[in-house]
Structure 1
Amino acid sequence: MRIFIFFILVSFQCFSQTDTLTVTKQDQEFLSVDHFWGKDSFKYIYSSKNNTLYKTGNQQKFQYKNVGLGAIYNVDLLNPLELTLFYKNFNTVVKLDNNLNEIISINFTQLSNFKNIAFATTSIEQHLWIFNSDTQQLELFNYNTKKSKVIGQPIQEDVIDMKSDYNFCWLLSTKFIYKFNIYGALLQRIPFTGGKGLSINNENVLVSSESGIFYFQKNSENTFILNLSNNFGGDIFLTNDSLYIYAGDFLTHYKLQTPKKQ
């Protein structure tokens, strides 16, 4: 596995055999929130403050708050027309439409086959990826039938974060990055320690850690470390060729030219 180091101060190319990468700072804006969750293709920013979810942009502002469920643990923007919110303290998932109106609420404590879940994200239609903390296993959950399909074997170490698209799910543990598909196959297990969070786009993986932000390219063994000075301590979001980092009340947008393949 090769590791390349890039500095954000200037844009430059790596003169390796086949791979190139350019990282440039685009802009920065003030944003005083508790969490930055991401930015969609329609340029709306999703953030939360005081347990309220905000969607702002295009001279519009939407908000959603569920007093009974408390703190928002995660917001999945995979489908901006149907967001997935996870309230870990109350073992509950809420689906919202693009105006942040509630579509459905799933309380896993009230199911006949009770589950304690640590993570929940969007999957294929009428399904969620969930990580069952009782069994330490990933599941594909149909929220209409309330039935689950177990994905893979139990994870032996602690799981720190989970992100997904419709067909694949990634788990960040204290030792590895796992990639599963909806058919139950473990596709990858990459050794990695010290990770804090994941961001996924087009099967490319971004991992934040105390030592920096790492980029794992789809179908490649190359790993790129982005040296971003003191900017890697906050929330990260990867979408296409844009990297957003929220830290210290500032949202910074970087342009990321992904490595070229031969």
Structure 2
Amino acid sequence: MHLKHHLLFWLCGLLSINAISQTTINVEKLDSISWDIDRYLGFDQQLNQYAIKDNVVLKRTKNEVLVYKNLSLGKIERVDFQNPLQLVVFYKEFNTLVLLDNQLNETKRIDFNLSPTFIQLEAMGLSAQNQLWVYDGNSNRLGLYTTTKDHTKWITVPQSNPLVNYNSDYTYFYWVDNQKRVSASSIYGKLTTLGSVPKHDNIQLVDATTALYCMKQQLYLYEIAKGISRKIEITENFVDNFFFKDGILAIFTQNKITNYKLILP
């Protein structure tokens, strides 16, 4: 009996250690760069870095820093840089989107106050085939705006709860509503409820399965469907902004960007 009790105690201890290890994620520091900016945005697939300084868009490549400045349109709300060849800058105050090429030259400006159907733009993103995701804050519905035809096609019915956070790729638009529920829509308007997210100070919806969030200066990787949070073991005590893509986590704090590789279980 004593031996069985000892083995049971050992197994329980082993399981406890394993459970603890799976609640945290270790990282490998890759590099860090200094950059005097106001807000760090993230990096694209070519590892160009994006930021905002004095309400100006900055793109930092290996060789130079490119600039886009348009102070007449007010504060920059968001920049979509998933395609290095076509950026989208959202000026919410003026209800306007500006499209830029890879050198940050303006190629098109869309004023949704003047479009055939007025849209109170609450969210936006680059989609496929000359289309933009547009979310109307008045009706709480999602649409696709074709830039070559200046036409909007609504793909979802009005939602019962307003959007508070979002992300998108070419084929899916993801958002968190004011009840912390996570939903997704395909470009064909197929709606899916993915789960919910915990209380947070800041959050990035990575894709349909994963989110990264910050709570009280601590970062967590979150599995949306399972409702599991895993603490990310970083050394920074204060996080201004963060960005996660393809297993690489960028932390911005005190004018320094530090890049980590997440060691996932």
CA distance in 2, matches of 1:138, 1:29: 38
Q: Is contact 2:42-2:49 (8 Å) kept?
A: yes
The 1:144/1:157 distance shift into structure 2, 3 A limit, reads: same
User: Partner residue of 1:70?
Assistant: 74
Residue 37 of structure 1, CA deviation: 1.2
Residue 242 of structure 1, CA deviation: 0.4
Residue 233 of structure 1, CA deviation: 4.2
Residue 202 of structure 1, CA deviation: 6.1
1:110 alignment partner, SS class = coil
Where structure 1 has 5 or more consecutive residues not aligned to the other structure, the ranges are 1-12
State, as a whole percentage, how many aligned pairs show the same letter.
26
Cα displacement string for residues 203-234 of structure 1 (whole angstroms, at most 9, x for unaligned residues): 55333243543434598765434354765743
1:253 to 229, 251, 259: 259
- The amino acid across from 1:240 in the alignment is D
**Is 2:187 the counterpart of 1:182?**
yes
Residue 110 of structure 1, CA deviation: 0.7
**Is 2:100 the counterpart of 1:107?**
no
The alignment's C-alpha RMSD in Å is 2.9
**Farther-moved stretch of structure 1 (198-207 vs 247-256):** 198-207
Q: Within 5 Å, which residues of 2 pair with 1:22-33? A: 22-33=26-37
Q: Is contact 1:25-1:253 (8 Å) kept?
A: yes
CA distance in 1, matches of 2:196, 2:227: 12
Residue 33 of structure 1, CA deviation: 1.1
Cα displacement string for residues 37-74 of structure 1 (whole angstroms, at most 9, x for unaligned residues): 11123332111111111111312121010121121110
**Is 2:97 the counterpart of 1:88?**
no
Q: Which is richer in helix?
A: 2
User: Partner residue of 1:134?
Assistant: 138
- The amino acid across from 1:44 in the alignment is N
The 1:196/1:96 distance shift into structure 2, 3 A limit, reads: farther
Structure 2 length as normaliser, TM-score?
Answer: 0.81
Q: Which is richer in strand?
A: 1
The 1:20/1:198 distance shift into structure 2, 3 A limit, reads: closer
CA distance in 1, matches of 2:103, 2:237: 31
1:68 alignment partner, SS class = helix
Q: Is contact 2:25-2:233 (8 Å) kept?
A: no
Where structure 2 has 5 or more consecutive residues not aligned to the other structure, the ranges are 1-16
1:135 alignment partner, SS class = coil
**Which structure would you say has the larger RCO, counting Cα contacts within 8 Å and 6 or more residues apart?**
1
Structure 1 length as normaliser, TM-score?
Answer: 0.81
